[in-house]
């Protein structure tokens, strides 16, 4: 399998984008990255490995922002909408499938990461970090009104629904431990939780998911 980035393992320097003409509006200047974490923290694997970033949006709002980006780029009115569709598939795929898709359509990374790509015609494509990896959510003062005690329902297939009282200032990892203590599940690390189609990951603050009395959290075992 060939490499998807020019210069990797070949002793060749990466393309210097400052010395290459940027064709059309493929850089996506209106879709800027979210602010990176100052600490030396990286997220993602392989070509999706990027500096971690923080986000003060609720998960539903973040997903709407992602959807808006992809809808804009994959719209058939966009000159290179077909390439954008391939890129979207690659971003949403696992590492192996992503590499295969890019190689199949002769799309290469500029500096070894999927966030900046170039096609065979020299067109550049910039994908914001929030569309590639999940952020590290951070609690701030303006979110204090979301913090409350409440009861949520956990649905485990084959078992009776669990009702758990939480403080939604907790994180996903805390909720998993609470579920483990109230169920027959012996290892909280095998638990995956979803609310309205969004996965609740270990470092996600629960308040970001805007639970209410009708919220049903789905539990799956890895």
Taking only the tens place, the pLDDT of each residue in 60-76 is 888 899 999 999 999 99
d(CA 157, CA 214): 18
Q: How many CA atoms lie within 13 A of 60 on its CB side?
A: 8
Q: Categorise residue 46: left if φ over 0, alpha if ψ from -120 to 50, beta otherwise.
A: left
| pLDDT for the residue numbered 160 | 82
Domain residue limits, the chain: 17-137, 141-221
Task: Give this prediction's pTM.
Answer: 0.58
d(CA 11, CA 47): 18
Q: Which of 20-29, 194-203, 205-214 has the highest mean pLDDT?
A: 194-203
Looking only at the bridges linking them, the beta strands covering 149-156 and 108-109 are unpaired
Residue 41: pLDDT over 80: no
Taking only the tens place, the pLDDT of each residue in 3-15 is 444 333 333 233 4
Where residue 55 falls among pLDDT bands split at 50, 70, 90? confident
Backbone angles phi, psi at 111, to 5 degrees: -135, 30
| pLDDT for the residue numbered 204 | 84
Share the mean pLDDT of the chain: 79
Tokens at 106, concatenated:
């002769």
Percent of the chain beyond pLDDT 70? 79
- The third-level CATH classification (topology) of the domain covering 141-221 is Ubiquitin-like (UB roll) (3.10.20)
């Amino acid at each position: 399998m060939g490499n998807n980035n020019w210069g990797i393992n070949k002793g060749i320097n990466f393309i210097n984008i400052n010395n290459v003409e940027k064709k059309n509006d493929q850089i996506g200047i209106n879709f800027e990255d979210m602010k990176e974490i100052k600490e030396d923290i990286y997220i993602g694997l392989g070509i999706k490995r990027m500096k971690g970033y923080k986000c003060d949006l609720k998960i539903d709002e973040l997903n709407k922002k992602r959807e808006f980006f992809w809808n804009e780029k994959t719209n058939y009115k966009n000159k290179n909408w077909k390439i954008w569709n391939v890129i979207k598939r690659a971003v949403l795929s696992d590492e192996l499938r992503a590499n295969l898709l890019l190689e199949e359509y002769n799309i290469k990374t500029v500096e070894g990461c999927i966030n900046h790509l170039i096609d065979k015609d020299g067109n550049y494509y910039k994908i914001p970090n929030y569309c590639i990896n999940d952020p590290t959510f951070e609690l701030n003062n303006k979110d204090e009104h979301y913090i409350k005690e409440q009861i949520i329902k956990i649905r485990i297939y084959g078992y009776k629904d669990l009702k758990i009282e939480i403080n939604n200032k907790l994180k996903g990892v805390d909720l998993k431990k609470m579920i483990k203590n109230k169920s027959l599940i012996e290892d909280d690390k095998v638990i995956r939780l979803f609310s309205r189609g969004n996965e609740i990951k270990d470092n996600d603050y629960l308040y970001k998911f805007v639970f209410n009395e009708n919220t049903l959290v789905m539990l799956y075992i890895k």
